[in-house]
Structure 1
């Protein structure tokens, strides 16, 4: 008696006729094979959820010498996303509402939404909470209480400064 390579108990008997343990072992072997298949599927699913780099496409903003970092992870058609845009001295937020294109094409008729913040300076003081929602086409707009992120900053003075940050995260169901 002992465990097989997959950790299931294998029975032994000294009876020369087909012992009952042979029947039990048939069940144990098929269960062991099923565990191996399930483990392989779980391993594959876990690999799908491994994060990867995503370079977001910004709408009504230019990165300039700022930084833009994004990550995404998909499990089946469910995609988790996040990004941070830190403005540099030549970065701009201009024109209409600030937006970002999703890492995948959203399924028609589903709500694409996320949240995040805009923060002043490298310490992100005076954070303004944001909601990202889908608008016409595959663009998420950044909205906050009282307005849309645009060329006018939500911070004192109304201008964007180098080291201001816009960050967002959420989930989208892919087409």
Structure 2
């Protein structure tokens, strides 16, 4: 049942990064045809835990056939009301995921092994829509897929303070590709 938006709670206003920043080894792997099956197993796990998710989608580089990626699976889950954490967060924690990020409009849980990230957004959230648009564009546009992979390969061996800093290094090319995706 859709939430009455006039009675919603106010969302968080700060970024909570549970556990603080983490420096990890960044590895870029060639596309693995086993990634879709890996996603399918987590899709079932999330769907079983939630039952109320509006949408569960494979996003990120592991969702794009032929694209090299960090071997970290990204999943997008959309819910009716991001502020109603009681509708999804405890269920995902009970399913074995751990809370990593709580920020305005977005929550992220991950596996203890840190190899699966489940991003939770609200239905219609612009960032969620952009994630799907970016994925779909890379799936259909080999030139932009190659540009994105070249960018990632150029950045991966640099010394980054954490994964967020590495992700920030890709921002300019992501913005460029997103501009083309919005026009197509």
Q: TM-score range by the shorter chain?
A: under 0.3
Q: TM-score normalised to the size of structure 2?
A: 0.24
Larger Rg: 1
- Structure in which a larger fraction of residues adopt strand: 1
TM-score, length-scaled by structure 1? 0.24
Structure with greater helix percent: 2
